[in-house]
Structure 1
Amino acid sequence: MAKMTLPPLLILILGLSIATQYCSAGDVLLSPEALYSYQSLTNGPYRFTMQNDCNLVLYAFEIAIWASNTVAPEYDCRCVMQRDGNLVVYNQNNRPVWVSGTHGADGNYALVLQKDRNVVIYGSARWSTSTQKRSHGAAIVAVQNSTTAAAAAAAGEVIADVGASDARLMAKMTPPPLLILILGLSIATQYCSADDVLFSPEALYSDSRPSLNYGYYNFTIQNDCNLVLYESGNPIWATNTGSLGRNCSCVMQSNGNLVVYNQNNYPVWRSNTNEDEDDKYALVLQSDRNVVLYGPALWSTRTQIGSYGVVVVAAQNSNSNPAAAAAAAGEVIADVGASDTR
């Protein structure tokens, strides 16, 4: 039988396919999205899963850490991040069996499985780049409620010069099959990073951790102080603050304000979303290409790993269905139901 040689394009597709099966950036649930039976949010070794028995469970290294304690002879259950800010588990009869108790005004909310093992609901959207893709693929590049120190650089204008991060063209080449496969694995791994959320008081620095990444999208603070949203290397939105400094940072402040600082710690751009009191906020690079600031925090599983490794497993402001009175939301888990560790 003759030796079979796969075409280079097929080898590249194979590499992409293999890698994308083993990586995920699905750490955020946006209203009105839902997790259905067997679906999960994932972030590294952590998994927040809607089980088919109607139990909502947080796993760390496949060990149950927290649960809604709503195990029942149910099926086809779902967990909905509602537009009113309430996280609700429904059974197959559309009956709520657990709620987070965070309902309020309708808006856009985000449930985030964080890298510290905590699961948090962040309050209604406060600011965005307004760059979400519409059904026909058009992009909106205007920014909401933002201020720049350079009067001529109106925030949200189409970018003419993105400075130091210009895209480079690659020369045409035909590498050997193994190299093509490795290239496919490398590309797919890069484009499925879960580093898509900036939490207060974290920052992006031009000389270290300069970007949020989700698939083909990168939200980057450049060394010239320009904060730019890229899609496949093409600029979509920017603060237009290039040349206003160097060694710059973009800080998600605890007062809810997103601020770009130059090397002298002078603010050259801000989102104008500051509040009088500090709280927890999250800047999310979403799968629809929009960058959205959510907050403050409304609820959490309180399962974050403390500085001394102390774990709190009680839930805040959560209520189980009266029909399951024994399953008080947030109790330490004794039975996690159908998805017990094997």
Structure 2
Amino acid sequence: MKIINYREVPILRQSESPAAGKIWSAEGSISQRRHRQTRNGDIDMAVGDSLSMDEYKLTLASPAKVVPLDPNLVLPKPTPDIETAKADLKRAGYAILTDVFPEELVRTARQVLADEIKREEAIDESRVAKFFVDPDAKNRRLNRLPDRHEVFRQVLEHPVVLELTKHILGPTVLDESYLVHSVDANVTRPGSGAQFIHLDASNGVGHATPNQSRFIWCLDEFAEENGATRVVPGSHLWNPEIDPTGATTYESVPAEAPAGSLIIYTDMLLHGTGANISENRERASINFGITTPWCRPSINFPLVLDPEVMKNTSQTLRQLLGYSSVMNGGDYPWESAPESIRSLCVPAKMAY
């Protein structure tokens, strides 16, 4: 397996002058700063969450430090055994679980995703392109998935997903339900650049245990050529030593997986979408995270999703999507919410 060294570089250079004190400056033209390749063809990206996205894209500086791969760490391989996946997750920070979803479900999800993206593009391409963390406009992103088709609701409450979430996050106070932090689709198209290596951390660098179980449902084969997600094996154990400034290079490997697989990791693993250097191979996935009830999800789903769609959903799914009050076991009615939303509310105690 060929390993590409994706370089994460600092965005802005800090300098000092007696008059101005500390200032941030960026060098080069806008086009130069947006994308840069090293002499050996490696792609430069940024890492961390302490600078703005624009700052991450504006850089020509060289990394001050390189963190190589651990040559002694055994990389996870696709496995149908959930206990092996749990061991991989503990050791390397990620796992690749196969045989979770029927092939027909995978095909349905892939076709629905393609149809929905095409429909959104016909309305306005910007609804699915130019996502703020993508380096160009070639990738396609799709949100509001639970509204769009039953297949996307099924994956969120799949028994394997819930078992792994309990394994990763542990028990909650008074047995409150976990919450879906975010869910969206990512279609990496040929010629699209690589995303910067980053954390999906709810509260950045500095926490000792995960706040999110993270999942990537591979709707296509994940290969290095078509932009398989790149991971930094073992980096889940480095927090809080991870450098969030962008001044450090973290070498990474592609998480290669067959179509239908579930890549499992946490918000403590460094990772990022790989560059799609293929001629004609898309790489589609459903990406989602589940967090503890005391963490604020990225999306306020009750205010985003269609109440009519949610009427016939399970109590488990409604709990996961936030249709309950989950604060220290309290189950308070949503007095000011519209009846269409209030009627969907369920108790906070975990139903799964």
TM range (shorter): under 0.3
- TM-score for the superposition, normalised by structure 1: 0.26
Q: Which of these two proteins has the greater Rg computed from alpha carbons?
A: 1
Q: As a proportion of its length, which structure holds more strand?
A: 1
